């Protein structure tokens, strides 16, 4: 980043007042009567109501529209373990996206807790405040245990976006790309480079959607994760296969799909040329992808490609998922965000990309035309119809799978199918 852009980023966060988010008052506070209702003595009435029935917290407080965005600062962006406080700008930014795209309020919480047990204990202790918890920028493998334990202990949705948000957007785009390339998920040979939170969650979701276990080769820094290795943790061992392929190049040979959630410039043109006809390349390392689109498209003209960047077609962007997933979950007072809800989000996004592109989207991106095809397999983040597609799908899946405490909202449209 140039010096000018660095300064612009710092100025954006500092001026005219520090930070990106604030709290607003939602009720009149202009008279003595207003203050008597807002605080003592009037506030005692909702206190009594909630003490009698905890479900009344959704009726009388902001809990039902409030998400905690919580980090320990151990895996912030691509910057690594910078600490909880240094992660605060990212957590505030997540709050901006929740509010901008789905009208959801956020408290960002930065927890000084390098020990997962301390982190879990802290989040459990503060959980009554929230209708849902978005875990963010927590390093693998601790993130898996943290999310599992919190999901088991709490009766509100706990969602690690670096895992499931990424997985949902990848899966939605991949299903569309496979169809365009005349392939199926069940038959596709998939090489995934990167065995952290995003890679493992994405492969689990693809298996749930119908991928064939033996067709997935997961690659970490030491090469293909195979059954002959004795250095695998329990999460990687889940994907160990019997194979004589050991390197990334081996994994890519004859593969239909490459999913990169690892690091920049690790895929060569020769590796791409070794893939099967009509390949699909999701090079998602940010800001520099595993292979640059200019290199990939020069090497092959039969591929479909996605990146994590907004300046190329097919951006895999988590903002397509988490605000709208939480919107649907909060509106039915869901106890969790389960796999059925994640799959519902995948299909909602997959279907939206097939719709005629909204004029508002064309204007926002300065485009004359855009249609479902190799350069448009995933909806654009500024598509206003995301609210019509994803929250209804999430809410219906929550109700149908028995994790909702409130009925399907009357003001919602019927889910798209």
Catalytic (active-site) positions: 39, 94
CB atoms within 10 A of CB 185: 20
Tell me the two tokens of residue 191: 């090489």
Distance CA 329, CA 392 (A): 9
- Separation of alpha carbons 233 and 240, rounded Å: 11
Provide the residue count of the chain.
417
Give per-residue burial for 92-114: e unless 16+ CB within 10 Å, then b. bbbbebbbebbebbbbbbbbebe
Q: How far apart are the two ends of the chain, measured CA to CA in Å?
A: 43
* Rounded CA separation 99/81 (Å): 27
Helix (H) or strand (E) holding 133: strand 132-135
Report the candidate in 415, 369, 390, 354 with the shortest Cα–Cα distance to residue 176.
354
Omega prior to 107 cis, within 30 of 0? no
Beta bridge partners, 69, equal: 108, 134
CA 156, 162, 168, 171: dihedral to nearest 10 degrees?
-150
68, 130 in Cβ contact below 8 A? yes
């Amino acid at each position: 980043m140039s010096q000018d852009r660095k300064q612009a980023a710092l100025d954006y966060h500092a001026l005219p007042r520090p930070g990106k988010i604030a709290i607003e008052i939602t009720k009149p506070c202009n008279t003595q009567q207003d203050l008597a209702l807002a605080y003592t003595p009037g506030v005692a009435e909702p206190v009594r109501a909630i003490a009698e029935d905890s479900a009344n917290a959704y009726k009388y407080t902001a809990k039902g529209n409030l998400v905690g965005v919580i980090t320990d600062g151990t895996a912030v962006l691509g910057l690594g373990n910078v600490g909880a406080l240094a992660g605060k700008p990212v957590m505030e930014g997540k709050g901006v996206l929740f509010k901008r795209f789905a009208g959801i309020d956020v408290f960002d919480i930065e927890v000084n807790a390098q020990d997962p047990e301390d982190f879990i204990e802290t989040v459990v202790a503060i959980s009554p405040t929230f209708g849902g918890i978005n875990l963010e920028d927590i390093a693998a493998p601790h993130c898996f245990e943290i999310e599992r334990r919190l999901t088991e202990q709490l009766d509100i949705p706990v969602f690690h976006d670096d895992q499931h948000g990424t997985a949902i957007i990848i899966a939605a785009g991949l299903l569309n790309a496979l169809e365009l390339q005349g392939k199926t998920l069940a038959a596709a040979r998939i090489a995934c480079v990167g065995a952290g939170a995003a890679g493992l969650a994405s492969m689990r979701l693809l298996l749930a959607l119908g991928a064939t276990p033996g067709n997935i080769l997961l690659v970490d820094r030491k090469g293909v994760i195979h059954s002959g290795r004795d250095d695998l943790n329990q999460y990687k061992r889940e994907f160990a296969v019997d194979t004589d392929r050991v390197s990334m190049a081996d994994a890519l040979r004859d593969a239909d799909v490459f999913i990169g959630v690892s690091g920049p410039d690790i895929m060569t043109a020769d590796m791409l040329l070794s893939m099967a006809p009509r390949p699909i390349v999701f090079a998602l390392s940010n800001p520099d992808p595993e292979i640059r689109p200019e290199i990939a498209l020069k090497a092959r003209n039969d591929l479909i490609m996605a990146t994590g960047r907004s300046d190329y077609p097919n951006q895999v962007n988590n903002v397509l998922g988490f605000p709208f997933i939480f919107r649907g979950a909060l509106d039915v007072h869901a106890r969790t965000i389960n796999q059925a809800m994640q799959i519902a989000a995948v299909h909602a996004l997959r279907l939206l990309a097939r719709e005629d592109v909204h004029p508002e989207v064309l204007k926002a991106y300065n485009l004359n035309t855009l249609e479902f095809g190799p350069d448009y397999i995933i909806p654009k983040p500024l598509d206003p119809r995301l609210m019509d597609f994803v929250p209804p799908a999430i809410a219906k899946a929550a109700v149908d799978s028995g994790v909702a405490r409130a009925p399907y909202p009357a003001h919602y449209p019927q889910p798209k199918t």
